[in-house]
């Protein structure tokens, strides 16, 4: 939307961002070196200072900060307007569930750092003139953590990539996709499908991959690893009987991508899924985050008839064009305030 805008970021890796920003003016912090780019979690204590070191002064009329962590701490001076698009309050400062189990064993050592990050995050969250966020779930968290209101602007769905394709037929498999992290609850899906003995494809990579593969005792569970091609991912979405979404997510882009391809979503009834899944129309919601409850929902799924076109139409509200129109309205209101 703003191709001439400068981009400020703590660090930048041209290869990992697939050279997408080659024509963008990018300015980085003192942490922008190879060791930190490859091992960024080691440098968490320095990140608040790193983002604050990027001082924009008063050279801009508008700053848009975007992210789930440090971007809102950018330095600037009046009369600059600041719109923050908040994915979530700083995860590992405010919520235990994002902390890997092995680190929780060192809670006494990590508590001072988490307290520092929480205090810093609260302070910088008071700076923006306006906060937008991605779901009702995160809007409530912002109110709880920051004492501020945040209007909802759902993330944009690329309907040019993810759409109905009449050439792809439904196949006899269920699909789960995402980073293989502990809080994504892939273990819950695997335990359910070990019992169900139904075909399951899992797309993604991450630190949990070895443990999850050992957990999968059913020969009908298949690990596909990282899928590089958007076209291949679209085909996987479209061919699945249903997409399994067992985690509490801030929003859930993979869920709306699946729905855009005409595939219903079976989701845990918390978090961003409640903004996405309308029970019985474009998917099913299950009430308890257990393998047994998920397995029951998968069995119940066969009693429903879902229409691919109806499911696809339910995602129109997330289309890029609607996102752009809504953001422009928010920016005009901010300019007039």
Q: Provide the pLDDT for residue 87.
A: 97
pLDDT confidence tier of residue 337, bands split at 50, 70 and 90: confident
Mean pLDDT of 273-298: 98
Q: Work out the average pLDDT over 173-202.
A: 97
Residue 54 in this model has a pLDDT that exceeds 70: yes
User: pLDDT tens for residues 28-52?
Assistant: 999 999 999 999 889 999 999 999 9
* pTM assigned to the model: 0.92
pLDDT at 186 over 90: yes
pLDDT of residue 103: 57
Residue 174 has a pLDDT of 98
Q: Are 66 and 10 in contact (CB under 8 A)?
A: no
Q: What percent of the chain has pLDDT over 70?
A: 96
Render the burial of 67-101: b for 16+ CB within 10 Å, e for the rest: bebbbbbbebeeeebbbbbbbbbbbbbbeeeebee
- Which residue, chain included where needed, has tokens 């191709």? 3
Judge contact between 136 and 274, C-beta under 8 A: yes
Supply 303's token pair.
Answer: 């009693």
Q: What is the pLDDT of residues 65-110, one digit of tens each?
A: 999 999 999 999 999 999 999 999 998 889 877 666 655 555 666 7
Return the closest-CA partner of residue 258 out of 181, 173, 162, 172: 162
Q: What is the pLDDT of residue 106?
A: 55
Q: What local confidence, expressed as pLDDT, does residue 102 receive?
A: 55
Q: Residues 138-182: pLDDT tens digits?
A: 999 999 999 999 999 999 999 999 999 989 999 999 999 999 999
Mean pLDDT of the chain: 94
The structural domains of the chain, with segments of one domain joined by +, span: 55-156+319-336, 174-316
Distance CA 141, CA 151 (A): 12
Q: What is the mean pLDDT of residues 222-245?
A: 96
pLDDT at 6 over 80: yes
Classify strands 200-203 and 221-225 as parallel, antiparallel or unpaired. Answer: parallel
> Within 197-277, where are the H helices?
209-215, 230-239, 253-260, 273-276
Which pLDDT belongs to residue 84? 98
CA 48 to chain centre: 22
DSSP E strand boundaries for 127-216: 130-133, 151-152, 174-177, 200-203
- The pair of three-digit structure tokens given for residue 16, joined into one six-digit string: 């990992």
Find out if CATH 3.40.50.2000 is the number for domain 174-316: yes
For position 109, what pLDDT does the model report? 67
């Amino acid at each position: 939307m703003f191709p001439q805008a400068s981009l400020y970021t703590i660090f930048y890796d041209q290869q990992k961002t697939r050279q997408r920003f080659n024509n963008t003016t990018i300015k980085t912090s003192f942490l922008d070196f190879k060791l930190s780019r490859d091992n960024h979690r080691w440098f968490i204590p320095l990140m608040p200072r790193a983002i604050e070191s990027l001082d924009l002064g008063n050279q801009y009329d508008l700053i848009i900060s975007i992210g789930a962590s440090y971007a809102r701490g950018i330095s600037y001076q009046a009369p600059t307007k600041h719109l923050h698009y908040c994915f979530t309050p700083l995860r590992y400062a405010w919520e235990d569930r994002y902390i890997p189990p092995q680190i929780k064993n060192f809670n006494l050592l990590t508590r001072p750092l988490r307290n520092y990050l929480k205090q810093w995050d609260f302070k910088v969250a008071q700076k923006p003139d306006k906060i937008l966020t991605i779901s009702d779930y995160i809007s409530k968290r912002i109110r709880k953590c920051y004492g501020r209101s945040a209007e909802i602007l759902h993330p944009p769905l690329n309907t040019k990539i993810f759409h109905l394709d009449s050439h792809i037929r439904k196949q006899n498999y269920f699909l789960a996709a995402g980073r293989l992290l502990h809080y994504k609850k892939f273990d819950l899906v695997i335990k359910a499908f070990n019992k169900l003995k139904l075909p399951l494809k899992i797309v993604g990579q991450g630190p949990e991959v070895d443990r999850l593969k050992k957990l999968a005792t059913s020969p009908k569970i298949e690990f596909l690893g990282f899928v590089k091609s958007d076209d291949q991912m679209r085909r996987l979405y479209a061919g699945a009987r249903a997409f399994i979404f067992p985690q509490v997510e801030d929003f859930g882009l993979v869920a709306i991508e699946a729905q855009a391809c005409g595939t219903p979503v079976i989701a845990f009834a918390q978090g961003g899924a409640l903004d996405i899944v309308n029970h019985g129309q474009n998917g099913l919601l299950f009430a308890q985050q257990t393998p047994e409850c998920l397995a029951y929902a998968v069995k119940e799924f066969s009693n429903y008839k879902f229409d691919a076109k109806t499911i696809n139409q339910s995602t129109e509200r997330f289309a890029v064009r609607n996102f752009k129109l809504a953001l422009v309205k928010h920016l005009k209101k901010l300019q007039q305030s």
